Amino acid sequence: MIGLLTADGSFRLINTATWQEALTRPLLLPWTNTLRLAIDPRATCLVASTEAGPLRTWRLPDASEGAAFVGHTGRLEALAFSEDGRWLASAGADRTLRLWRTDTRQQVAQFPQEHERVAAVVLSPDADLLGVTFNDDELEIWERASGRRRARFVPHKSGHEIAFPHSPSRFITGGSDGTVKVWDLRTLRREALFRGSLRGVNSLAVSPDERTLATGTGEGTIKLWNLDLGQEVAVLKGHRESVGQLAFSRDGRTVLSASLDAVCVWEAPSLAEIEPVEKARGRVSK
């Protein structure tokens, strides 16, 4: 499923198997410039922020309104579901990062923040770690169970994205400086550096088998990288605008990308298909 929000606040849910509208009735959201959305991985729940107050929810695909997440005061900055849909992370202008159980709508943890403006929040696949990035370029990683801040540093000179592979030993960041960095989670030492784009890296996605990294660039391309070898192995061209969102399908065979000009679905070549071609070009070696 793909969720789309039009300029008038209309929300659409597209079934990628049929490319037909999946909502059984229209859904018009309370559009503001600060509206934030998140859809759970099973496409059964939509969460949207309000200007000030609770996080509203709608059941999908019937678009009926459900119970709200109540706790934040003021503007919401970022939202993210866990991979299994059991947890929701939210960050607000009230300078709190909160974690919620999606089945009960109950807050289970709250982490204080020194920053008012949050750029993004992301949960690790097992939901044990929360990553949050700020508009002043800092990044923080928090442990869900202990409530301890695991890391706080500036990974790039300006602006950055963060992604957690399934492996708990590392994480990946991309910045507007055009670089992608792989970090050791325990030592915070950089393991690898990729030079991704002259106009910045605006989105990241890791394949389920953790062998391929997709990066969305400011010039509208999607680059695929072999994480084992640290090599760029393919470039997907189709967007005219900066690629702001990326996701792999659960089987790793499809990449979805979104920018202001289009939503694209790509059949992602496997590394088994890519490597013989790249070796012939002399670009990949083991």
Asked which of 151, 179, 203 is the last residue of a domain, the reply is: 151
pLDDT, the chain, mean: 84
Alpha carbon distances (Å) from 74 to 66, 80, 94, 203: 21, 18, 6, 27
Q: For residue range 244-264, what is the model confidence (pLDDT) as tens digits?
A: 889 988 888 889 898 888 888
Residue 121 counted as domain residue: no
Residue 132 counted as domain residue: no
Quick one: 161 and 227 in the same domain?
Answer: yes
Average pLDDT score over residue span 17-33: 82
Quick one: 282 and 160 in the same domain?
Answer: yes
pTM over cut 0.85: no
Residue with tokens 């949960």: 123
Query: DSSP string covering 53-84, please?
Result: SPEEEEETTT--EEEEE----S-EEEEEE-TT
State the pLDDT at residue 270.
57
Q: What is the CATH number of the domain that holds 267?
A: 2.130.10.10
Strand partners, 231: 226
Quick one: 184 and 141 in the same domain?
Answer: no
Check pLDDT > 50 for residue 201: yes
Quick one: 52 and 162 in the same domain?
Answer: no
Residue 261 counted as domain residue: yes
**How many domains does the chain fold into?**
2
Nearest to 172 by CA among 158, 157, 156: 156
Q: Which residue has the higher pLDDT, 23 or 286?
A: 23
Quick one: 100 and 164 in the same domain?
Answer: no
Quick one: 238 and 185 in the same domain?
Answer: yes
Residue 210 counted as domain residue: yes
Quick one: 195 and 101 in the same domain?
Answer: no
Nearest to 48 by CA among 90, 100, 82, 93: 90
Residue 127 counted as domain residue: no
Nearest to 215 by CA among 260, 186, 248: 248
- Which residue segment(s) compose the domain that 189 sits in? 155-286
Residue 160 counted as domain residue: yes
Give yes or no for a contact between 56 and 14, defined as CB atoms under 8 angstroms apart. Answer: no
Quick one: 143 and 229 in the same domain?
Answer: no
Residue type, 9: G
Asked which of 105, 126, 151 is the last residue of a domain, the reply is: 151
Quick one: 190 and 221 in the same domain?
Answer: yes
State the pLDDT at residue 283.
46
Quick one: 23 and 146 in the same domain?
Answer: yes
Quick one: 171 and 283 in the same domain?
Answer: yes
Check pLDDT > 60 for residue 286: no
Residue 267 counted as domain residue: yes
Q: CA 254, CA 206: separation in Å to the nearest integer? A: 12
Least confident of 4-8, 107-111, 122-126, 162-166: 4-8
Q: For residue range 46-56, what is the model confidence (pLDDT) as tens digits?
A: 998 866 667 89
Q: For residue range 51-108, what is the model confidence (pLDDT) as tens digits?
A: 666 789 999 999 999 999 998 887 888 899 999 999 999 988 888 899 999 999 999 9
State the pLDDT at residue 272.
55
Quick one: 93 and 217 in the same domain?
Answer: no
Rounded-to-5 percentages of helix, strand, coil across the chain: 5, 50, 45
Residue 131 counted as domain residue: no
